[in-house]
Amino acid sequence: MQAIMRYELVINEALRSALMFDTPDEQINEFIRFFGKHIGCDRIYIFEDNKKEHVTNNTYEWCSEGIQPEIDFLQGVDMDIIDWWYKAFDKKENVIIQDVETIKGNPQLDRVD
């Protein structure tokens, strides 16, 4: 129960921080920045699916200092390439890649240029 309350406090603080900005884009960027810093990750992505074209696009990205953004390379990604993401999402699971280097060179998981 304490863990749930702690998560709720973090979410509330992230929302409070995001709502200090005027536009939805600024709010989303602040929200993911807050979480990225809070959990200590290198980057956070938000993708939006275009089911008509069967692609997904990276529409928001936050990177910690010194991390190179990948948002420009993650546009029009064929949804079949990341099918395992959708399977995880269907099971209410997260997709967390601990080390991007471990998937480089794998044609199904590597970046789409």
| Domain boundary assignment for the chain | 1-40, 42-113
Q: Tell whether the model's pLDDT for residue 70 goes beyond 70.
A: yes
pTM above 0.85, yes or no: no
- Whole-angstrom distance, CA of residue 19 vs CA of residue 2: 26
Q: Tell whether the model's pLDDT for residue 84 goes beyond 90.
A: no
What is the band of 6 on the pLDDT scale with cuts at 50, 70, 90?
confident
